[in-house]
Chain A
């Protein structure tokens, strides 16, 4: 009986605990249902994150060709060196060992160490360098078993087969920096990405870069890659076809640079620029700036020593003089002043002024380049012989505002949409500009200086060649471009044709008439003639004292104080095709230094 009560009691307790068990089974089932059915999506995503690592695949950068398909910028196979990060890696030991057997760039190593320190994820490949020579690579490859953390990846390396010839134009690429990322929010922070830093590489960076692809890697818990395959193909960058003709470009460059080596002891290349433009399409056939640099040093990572040399060089080899070199245009704008006068009806074709070598205005004296004057001459003769006094008179009659208007119409200090970020706009002064910037009123003396392109006036070779192109074309406001085959619609020029023809005739006389300043540089090709205008730009003011003592010859002056030599022109005369602008910094006279270069380049172009 007692046993029965005991049994009943035990059974009651047993049911209590069995109920507890039942509830527990229910709880477990619900938990499984919750995890596997209700929250499945969340955990599935987490599982995929565990399973797969996505890494970016760099697209191949677009190549750059000249107008005839010759390669100016291309990609070559290269190896990148990586170290796989892990928690307790003796980084110093590995790097020391690597440095012992290879020529690793110290700066690369430093950047790598920084990058390694700031890693957010573990077990990823950290990029060291892609600048290993074939020898270094094979050295490491042979001893790879000693470096289990080190591995290679095939990458592409930017090369510029033409090196210095197109250096300023093509520019170069460089490593992505924090500043680049801040400036451009669309950039993907990728340690090994190189972006355009200069020239066309910079301007067309987006097109050239292409779109990243993705590689999917299956990774285990220890970070070891089990499988790896391409998940999204990268979209290679677009190629660029330039309007540049490599032949002309290299010829113009050597012609410009070798100028001195023939005649004087200086072996340093001449500084300056040669720009040739198609007057009908605006395509730039050659765009040379000297001195230049080798863009390939930026590909392998420019060493700080080299960089300092480039930066501290007084002749600024990194400067693209064709687009960002600003010079007083000098006599090369006399056509524009003349056009302004003709358009405003201030003078007729036959109006003459007398030049006795100096123009006195108030208590100031403005000299002509010809000490004894040109005598009584008309507009056409004044352009042909580049008489300054004639233009002093003309300038005073027309006024700075109208001169400025015409210059802007012809492309100076105007909006030019060239495909280079380095383009610097020239300066055509006006009364308002003087008041705004200098705070004083415009004086007639400044008009006199401006009418021969001196004083405040500044311009770059691209603007000058645009000016000549528009005059030569006579119908359209041609604009320069570096891309070939880019159909462009140009606005009407809107200048009286007769006036233009008159000016063009005068420009022809500059080269083809015996009295012309560039007569010695007339083309030696049958039936093809060139028209043009020389310019010799004073860099320092010559005082009256110096004039009396006799002007020191250009050659004997300090380089920095010598005149700039300029020439602008176009050819052929009847059916203009090419316009040219040559500037030789501190080269001397436009007629003896700049014009012969233009002649040689034109002959090369037209033969």
Chain B
């Protein structure tokens, strides 16, 4: 751990490291987490069970992960990027045969269910950052970029195959964004866009019925209010009926009467919007916005290209979660199944985001100011 090249290197004490962390960011995250606990308390019909308490434990675990990761130098963490990536790919193959859940997404680890597709998102950021640092200045090279794209598409398609269109497409989007930021030439971009436009019909044909249907129903949810469009419709009703100030804490009729599907996970934002109204939902959105602003500031402060890519990757991952989730519950994009960061009572996804924040803290702490 301390085998650093600089022989004058003297590691900081734990306390000093802790002080170097971005406490404003952590504070904002904590506020969002508290909102999440409140929402889950309401989702449990005004009871800490079954979700709110569980959420608190996960948040504590998450912050612990941040603190632990921040103690390690980022370069040390990066050493594991390839291992982590391979591990994720193996897990993704494993779930094809031994996965649990109706869509075989999870690995049963006795105490909790582990979802490798979520961890794969972090691993793709780490791997790409590592790849780009090892082979810099090749961003205009076609084969170089094709390999990077291949690294993204491998887990991406494994996940889409599960089938989990939401997580898979989010991972691919994330990977592409990282490659794009690294400086993918516009020529390659335009040729990729062209290829994907041509292959779109083929992809459409290979989509499963439920995925096609989800997209079709998304285009006109009113067509099928009792079937697949039901979730979107009920979610929109709940959000819309919240009005400016909401129906009040614990009094959202849509969630109380179980019209909201999965109100503790993917549709938790709907519950907040219904009970707290436009004011509440905007508060959550603004908090997320500030978290993003802080991450942008972090990005600009950072000199190291690898770290810049890492910060961008994590911030874009958080953004994708937010956009997919809120976009979905408000009916802007198809029902893809994405949790809301820090609020949804997810398992692996929540930890994944905390790992991402931990990496950013590690970068910050490792920085020699």
Contact = CB atoms under 8 A, between A and B. Distances in A.
Contacts of B282: 29, 32
Given A29-B285, A32-B273, A51-B253, A7 B240 contact: no
Contact of A37 (B183, B238, B243): B243
Contact of B326 (A7, A10, A28, A37): A28
A218 B258 CA distance: 12
A21 to B, nearest CB: 5
Interface string A30-42: 0111011101101
Given A32-B330, A50-B259, A218-B257, A2 B137 contact: yes
Interface residues of A, number: 39
Interface stretch (A172-180, A220-228, A244-252, A358-366): A220-228
Interface in B309-336: 309, 312, 316, 319, 322-323, 326-327, 330, 332
Interface stretch (B20-28, B56-64, B94-102, B174-182): B174-182
B248 interface: no
A218 B254 CA distance: 11
A13 B180 contact: yes
A138 interface: no
Q: Which of A31, A37, A47 has the most CB of B within 10 A?
A: A47
A567 B177 CA distance: 108
B299 A14 contact: yes
B369 to A, nearest CB: 18
A9 B138 CA distance: 13
A165 B257 CA distance: 54
A491 interface: no
Given A10-B182, A13-B181, A50 B257 contact: yes
A440 B158 CA distance: 100
A3 to B, nearest CB: 7
B256 to A, nearest CB: 8
A40 B236 CA distance: 10
B332 A27 contact: yes
Contacts of B136: 3, 6
Interface in B135-169: 136-137, 139
Nearest to A39: B240
Contacts of A42: 240
Nearest to B257: A220
A74 interface: no
A27 to B, nearest CB: 7
B-side interface size class: 35 or more
A18 interface: yes
B239 interface: yes
B35 interface: no
B84 interface: no
A29 B287 CA distance: 13
A9 B241 CA distance: 46
B264 interface: no
Contacts of A51: 253-254, 257
A17 B177 contact: yes
Interface in A34-74: 35-37, 39-40, 42-44, 46-48, 50-51
Contact of B319 (A14, A21, A27, A46): A21
Q: Which of A35, A44, A221 has the most CB of B within 10 A?
A: A35
A36 B326 contact: no
Interface string A352-392: 00000000000000000000000000000000000000000
Nearest to B240: A43
B309 A221 contact: no
Contact of A14 (B137, B181, B327, B330): B181
Interface string A1-28: 0110011011101100110010011011
A2 B136 CA distance: 10
B243 A36 contact: yes
A546 B37 CA distance: 108
Given A6-B305, A29-B282, A13 B183 contact: yes
Contacts of B215: none
Nearest to B259: A221
Contact of B243 (A9, A27, A40): A40
